[in-house]
């Protein structure tokens, strides 16, 4: 919990110190208003011989009667107005401090995710990352607010204790010792709060994972007729999440109950002690009771702040560990590096690669050349290493040994940003935002003119169907492009890829789920590309493979065959021959 508090302080040291000083002023103004009650009681013939009353009598020696009462009441109102104004300002500063901290934490998390090594990133489920940004961040934000409030409470407690000591030392010490005993007795609650926070996060992850799975697979769930079973699974996850939150509420409600009962007992004992053992005037006793009623809730609030902070500790630790894991990148790409050009080839020289934790490397001593300005197809069985090769070329994965060269320039991590500016990528499952066709292209190419946007759609064989849509470029495509057909979605994504006029166009099984008509249209797009664009595609259909200039057969991480379609087909027992026989 101290690490979280240090993190909040480091995010804005000046703001944290300013808020602490302002909290002290709020407490001081409130303490002065309480202190003024002593002479006010004297005005009503409730005697008190406190030092505070004597001091105020010396400050107002010439006033008596109504004038003295008016002056004390005026000071009282002034102190309370100052307290109200300062308290409002402290609340705003406190909210700004915690929200700025959380905004900075989310930005750090986003930078870690966006720059993460691909091997580390793919360990996380999408629901887990979304929970980090929303659910976990909210819990940390609430805990940060509670801890900042705890600092203000400590300022309040210090001022209240000082005033109480000025009234009567023995009785104040009795209250402090009693409160300390209660606090020590409830220390095990902090450990239980931490454990509860860990279990709540675990149930939250299960709950949000179930939501993500079921919403993503709603069509399959309905087609299999398993709605009731999935509804039961969802209800179980929701009930578990609910129970853990109720458990936390029970835990947080216990200290308030204990302190309330304890305060009643202590007030009774204080009255008994003041009448039996101590010489306490009526005025002093009234002020002490008032201070007790103000000071005792501080114990309860501090206990709640600490418990809420401990609940968020596992969440905070998980977020820090996640950012550290995602930040384990060999080198941060330099965005200002000059762009890499592709004129001749992409060459793999003695490249080896192994996934982290794998028993054996997937590739060893690989030698491979992808010629520039041509269409190269990677073919082979699923799991042969085709996607890994593409990820190595695009820089998502880094070779364990050897090097990849773009022409004669080694593809090092610091050059990755410059290389990716020349790459466009089209996945098998196209990413479309819940917006218009225009937004789906301009979001990735914000400087694109209207003329170039239309030109990109024309090159992708998409402009014809876009013109037929009700609102043309401003037609909403729905979530993940649900209002468009699969072929239309793929051609919109292809237009987005071509809009940047890339040096390298990567199609990762982009035609695998298309009908033959849409596949034919995309093959036409590939044929129409000029020689400044190199195409690297993963394909499983003979019709798509046939359109490639150069074909590379991958098997178990090794290059088994390569050449043109006719050359490979002529080889005895070649992979393409077996494909044709199966078709």
pLDDT higher than 60, residue 43: no
Residues of the domain holding 558: 345-582
Q: Does one domain contain both 568 and 488? A: yes
> Of all residues in the chain, what percent are helix, strand and coil, respectively (each to 5)?
65, 10, 25
| Between residues 467 and 54, the one the model is more confident about | 467
pLDDT at 46: 45
pLDDT at 583: 62
Assess if residue 257 is contained within a domain.
Answer: yes
Instruction: Give the chain's domain count.
Output: 2
Helix, coil or strand: residue 345: strand
Q: Does one domain contain both 383 and 471? A: yes
Domain with residue 167: its CATH number is: 1.20.1560.10
Torsion of CA 54, 60, 63, 67, to 10 degrees: -100
| Between residues 348 and 583, the one the model is more confident about | 348
Q: Which residue has the tokens 């008032």?
A: 290
Q: Does one domain contain both 157 and 257? A: yes
Assess if residue 392 is contained within a domain.
Answer: yes
Number of other residues whose CB lies within 10 A of the CB of residue 354: 16
Provide the mean pLDDT of the chain. Answer: 80
Assess if residue 340 is contained within a domain.
Answer: no
- Domain final residue, candidates 326, 360, 380: 326
Contact at 8 Å (CB) between 221 and 214?
yes
Q: How far apart are CA 291 and CA 299, in angstroms?
A: 13
Helix, coil or strand: residue 553: strand
Helix, coil or strand: residue 225: coil
Torsion of CA 186, 192, 194, 196, to 10 degrees: -140
Number of other residues whose CB lies within 10 A of the CB of residue 164: 24
Which residues on adjacent β-strands are paired with residue 506?
425, 536
pLDDT higher than 50, residue 39: yes
- Domain final residue, candidates 299, 326, 353: 326
pLDDT at 404: 92
Assess if residue 372 is contained within a domain.
Answer: yes
pLDDT higher than 80, residue 545: yes
pLDDT higher than 70, residue 402: yes
Domain with residue 409: its CATH number is: 3.40.50.300
pLDDT higher than 60, residue 311: yes
Assess if residue 334 is contained within a domain.
Answer: no
Q: How many residues does the structure list for the chain?
A: 583
pLDDT at 435: 87
pLDDT at 85: 84
Contact at 8 Å (CB) between 433 and 443?
yes
| Between residues 227 and 572, the one the model is more confident about | 227
Q: Does one domain contain both 317 and 405? A: no
Q: How far apart are CA 164 and CA 558, in angstroms?
A: 81
Q: Does one domain contain both 395 and 527? A: yes
pLDDT at 47: 47
Q: Which residues contact 363 (CB under 8 A, 6 or more apart)?
A: 351, 352, 353, 354, 385, 388, 557, 558
- SS3 string of 350-418? EEEECCCCCCCCCEEEEEEEEECCCEEEEECCCCCCHHHHHHHHHCCCCCCEEEEEECCEECCHHHHHH
Q: Does one domain contain both 318 and 385? A: no
Q: How far apart are CA 364 and CA 373, in angstroms?
A: 27
| Between residues 395 and 64, the one the model is more confident about | 395
| Between residues 160 and 191, the one the model is more confident about | 191
Q: Which residue has the tokens 């409830």?
A: 186
| Between residues 85 and 46, the one the model is more confident about | 85
Q: What is the mean pLDDT of residues 298-309?
A: 78
Q: What is the largest CA-CA distance in the chain?
A: 118
Q: What is the mean pLDDT of residues 407-417?
A: 84
Assess if residue 336 is contained within a domain.
Answer: no
Q: Does one domain contain both 367 and 309? A: no
Q: Does one domain contain both 265 and 391? A: no
Instruction: Read off the pLDDT band of 347 (50, 70, 90).
Output: very high
pLDDT higher than 50, residue 438: yes
Assess if residue 209 is contained within a domain.
Answer: yes
Q: Does one domain contain both 414 and 273? A: no
Buried b (16+ CB within 10 A) or exposed e, 55-79: ebeeeeeeeeeeebbebbeebbeeb
Q: What percent of the chain has pLDDT over 90?
A: 2
- Domain final residue, candidates 326, 354, 384: 326
Phi, psi (5° rounding) for residue 410? -65, 135
Assess if residue 333 is contained within a domain.
Answer: no
Q: How far apart are CA 313 and CA 320, in angstroms?
A: 10
pLDDT higher than 80, residue 580: no
pLDDT higher than 70, residue 37: no
Q: Which residues contact 219 (CB under 8 A, 6 or more apart)?
A: none
pLDDT higher than 60, residue 335: no
| Between residues 87 and 45, the one the model is more confident about | 87
Q: Poorest-confidence range of 53-57, 210-214, 370-374, 529-533?
A: 53-57
Token pair listed for 353: 């690669």
Q: What percent of the chain has pLDDT over 70?
A: 85
Q: What is the mean pLDDT of residues 558-567?
A: 86
Q: Poorest-confidence range of 149-163, 447-461, 525-539?
A: 149-163
Q: Does one domain contain both 258 and 368? A: no
For 17-26, what is each residue's pLDDT tens digit? 887 787 778 7
Q: Does one domain contain both 356 and 269? A: no
Instruction: Read off the pLDDT band of 71 (50, 70, 90).
Output: confident
Q: Does one domain contain both 366 and 294? A: no
Instruction: Read off the pLDDT band of 578 (50, 70, 90).
Output: confident
For 242-266, what is each residue's pLDDT tens digit? 998 888 888 888 877 887 787 777 7
pLDDT higher than 80, residue 29: no
pLDDT at 2: 74
pLDDT at 49: 46
Strands 363-371 and 401-406: unpaired
């Amino acid at each position: 919990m101290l690490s979280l508090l240090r993190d909040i302080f480091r995010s804005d040291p000046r703001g944290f110190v300013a808020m602490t000083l302002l909290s002290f002023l709020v407490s001081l103004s409130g303490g002065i208003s309480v202190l003024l009650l002593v002479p006010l009681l004297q005005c009503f013939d409730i005697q008190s011989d406190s030092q505070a009353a004597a001091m105020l009598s010396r400050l107002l020696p010439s006033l008596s009667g109504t004038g003295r009462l008016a002056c004390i009441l005026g000071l009282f109102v002034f102190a309370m107005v100052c307290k109200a104004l300062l308290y409002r300002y402290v609340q705003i500063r406190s909210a700004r401090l915690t929200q700025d901290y959380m905004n900075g934490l989310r930005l750090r998390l986003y930078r870690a995710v966006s720059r993460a090594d691909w091997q580390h990133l793919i360990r996380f489920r999408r629901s887990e990352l979304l929970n980090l940004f929303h659910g976990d961040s909210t819990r940390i934000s609430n805990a940060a607010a509670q801890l900042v409030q705890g600092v203000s409470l400590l300022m309040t407690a210090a001022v209240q204790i000082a005033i109480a000591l000025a009234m009567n030392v023995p009785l104040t010490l009795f209250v402090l010792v009693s409160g300390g005993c209660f606090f020590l007795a409830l220390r095990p609650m902090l450990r239980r709060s931490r454990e509860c926070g860990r279990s709540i996060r675990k149930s939250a992850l299960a709950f949000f994972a179930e939501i993500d799975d079921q919403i993503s697979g709603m069509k399959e769930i309905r087609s299999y007729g398993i709605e009731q079973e999935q509804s039961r699974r969802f209800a179980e996850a929701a009930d578990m999440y609910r129970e853990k939150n109720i458990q936390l509420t029970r835990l947080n409600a216990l200290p308030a109950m204990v302190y309330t009962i304890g305060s009643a007992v202590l007030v009774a004992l204080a009255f008994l002690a003041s009448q039996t053992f101590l010489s306490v005037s009526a005025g002093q006793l009234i002020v002490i009771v008032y201070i007790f009623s103000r000071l005792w809730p501080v114990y309860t609030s501090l206990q709640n702040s600490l418990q809420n902070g401990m609940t968020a500790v596992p969440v905070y630790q998980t977020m820090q560990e996640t950012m550290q894991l995602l930040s384990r990148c060999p080198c941060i790409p330099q965005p200002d590096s000059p762009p890499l050009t592709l004129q001749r080839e992409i060459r793999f020289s003695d490249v080896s690669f192994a996934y982290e934790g794998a028993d054996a490397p997937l590739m060893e001593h690989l030698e491979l050349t992808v010629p520039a300005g041509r269409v190269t197809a990677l073919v082979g069985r699923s799991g042969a290493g085709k996607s890994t090769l593409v990820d190595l070329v695009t820089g998502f994965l880094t070779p364990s040994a050897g090097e990849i060269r773009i022409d004669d320039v080694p593809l090092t991590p610091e050059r990755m940003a410059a290389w990716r500016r020349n790459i466009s990528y089209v996945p098998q499952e196209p990413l479309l935002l819940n917006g218009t066709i225009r937004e789906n292209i301009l979001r990735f190419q914000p400087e694109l003119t209207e003329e170039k946007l239309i030109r990109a759609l024309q090159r992708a064989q998409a402009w014809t169907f876009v013109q037929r849509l009700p609102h043309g470029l401003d037609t909403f495509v729905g979530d993940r492009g649900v209002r468009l057909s699969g072929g239309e979605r793929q051609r919109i994504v292809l237009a987005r890829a071509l809009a940047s006029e890339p040096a390298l166009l990567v199609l990762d099984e982009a035609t695998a789920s298309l009908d033959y008509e849409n596949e034919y249209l995309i093959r036409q797009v590939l044929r129409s590309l000029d020689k400044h664009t190199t195409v690297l595609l993963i394909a499983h259909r003979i019709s798509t493979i046939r359109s490639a200039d150069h074909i590379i057969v991958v098997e178990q991480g090794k290059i088994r065959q390569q050449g043109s379609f006719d050359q490979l087909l002529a080889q005895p027992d070649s992979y393409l021959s077996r494909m044709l026989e199966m078709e």
